[in-house]
Structure 1
Amino acid sequence: MKVLITGATGFLGGYLVKECLALGYEVIAVGRNQAIGQGLEVSYEKLVFVVADLADKASLAAAFAHQPDKVIHAGALSTVWGPWKDFYEANVLGTQHVIDWCQETGVERLVFVSSPSIYASNENQELVTEEQAPVDNRLNNYIASKIEAEKRVIASLVPYVIIRPRGLFGVGDTSIIPRLLAIHDKVGVPLVAGGQHLIDLTCVENVAYAIGLALEKKEAIGQVYNITNGEPMTFKATLDLFFKEKGIKGRYLSVPKWLLAGTAVVLEGVYRLFHLKGEPRLTCYTYYLLVYSQTLSIEKARRELGYHPIMTIEEGIRHYVQHS
Structure 2
Amino acid sequence: MIDIREAGAAPVTGARAQFVPKRIFLTGAGGYVGRNLITHLTATGSEVVGLVRSHTSAELVRSLGAVPFRGDLLASQVIDGMEGCDVLVHAAADTDHGPPSPEQRRTNEEGTRNVLAAARAAGVTRAIHISSESVLADGRAVVNADESRPLPRRPAGGYSRSKAVAEAIALSYNGAGLEVIVVRPRFVWGRDDTTALPQLVAAARSGRMAWISGGTYLTSTTHITNLCRGIELVLAQGRAGEVYFITDGEPIEFRRFVSGLLETQGVPAPQKSVPRALMRALAITGDLLGTLSRGRIAGPLTLQVFATSAVEVTLDIGKARTELGYQPVVSREQGLAELRAGRWGSRTPDP
Instruction: Determine if the alignment matches structure 1 residue 307 to structure 2 residue 326.
Output: yes
Which amino acid is the alignment partner of residue 48 of structure 2?
A: V
Offset of 1:287 from its aligned partner? 1.8
Corresponding residue number in structure 1 for 2:32: 11
Q: Deviations over 1:100-144 (max 9, x none)?
A: 112112211001101110111333322100110316443211211
Contact 1:118/1:144 (CA < 8 Å) preserved in 2? Answer: yes
Q: Which structure is richer in relative contact order (CA contacts within 8 A, separation 6 or more)?
A: 2
Corresponding residue number in structure 2 for 1:128: 145
Which whole-Å CA distance do the structure 2 matches of 1:30 and 1:229 have between them?
A: 28
Corresponding residue number in structure 2 for 1:144: 161
Q: Note closer, same or farther for the CA distance 1:256–1:303 as it changes in structure 2 (3 Å cut).
A: same
Q: Note closer, same or farther for the CA distance 1:43–1:294 as it changes in structure 2 (3 Å cut).
A: closer
Instruction: Determine if the alignment matches structure 1 residue 91 to structure 2 residue 108.
Output: yes
Offset of 1:196 from its aligned partner? 1.1
**Unaligned 5+ runs, structure 2:** 1-21, 345-351
**Unaligned 5+ runs, structure 1:** none
Contact 1:231/1:313 (CA < 8 Å) preserved in 2? Answer: no
Corresponding residue number in structure 2 for 1:37: 58
SS, match of residue 62 in structure 2 = helix
Offset of 1:256 from its aligned partner? 1.6
Which whole-Å CA distance do the structure 2 matches of 1:237 and 1:161 have between them?
A: 33
For 1:38-117, what aligned pairs fall within 5 Å after superposition? 38-44=59-65, 47-56=66-75, 58-64=76-82, 66-117=83-134
For 1:1-324, what aligned pairs fall within 5 Å after superposition? 1-44=22-65, 47-56=66-75, 58-64=76-82, 66-134=83-151, 136-156=153-173, 157=175, 158-187=178-207, 189-217=209-237, 219-246=238-265, 249-276=268-295, 280-323=299-342
Which amino acid is the alignment partner of residue 258 of structure 1?
A: A
SS, match of residue 29 in structure 2 = coil
Which whole-Å CA distance do the structure 2 matches of 1:14 and 1:52 have between them?
A: 17
Which whole-Å CA distance do the structure 2 matches of 1:284 and 1:135 have between them?
A: 14
Q: Note closer, same or farther for the CA distance 1:185–1:6 as it changes in structure 2 (3 Å cut).
A: same
SS, match of residue 244 in structure 2 = strand
Offset of 1:283 from its aligned partner? 1.0
Offset of 1:318 from its aligned partner? 2.1
Higher helix share: 1
Which whole-Å CA distance do the structure 1 matches of 2:108 and 2:308 have between them?
A: 22
Offset of 1:33 from its aligned partner? 3.2
Matched-pair identity in %: 26
Q: How big is the alpha-carbon RMSD for the aligned residues of Structure 1 and Structure 2?
A: 2.1
Corresponding residue number in structure 1 for 2:13: none
Which whole-Å CA distance do the structure 2 matches of 1:75 and 1:289 have between them?
A: 20
Which whole-Å CA distance do the structure 2 matches of 1:69 and 1:42 have between them?
A: 23
Q: Note closer, same or farther for the CA distance 1:88–1:239 as it changes in structure 2 (3 Å cut).
A: closer
TM-score, with normalisation over the residues of structure 1?
0.91
Offset of 1:174 from its aligned partner? 2.6
Which whole-Å CA distance do the structure 1 matches of 2:309 and 2:121 have between them?
A: 44
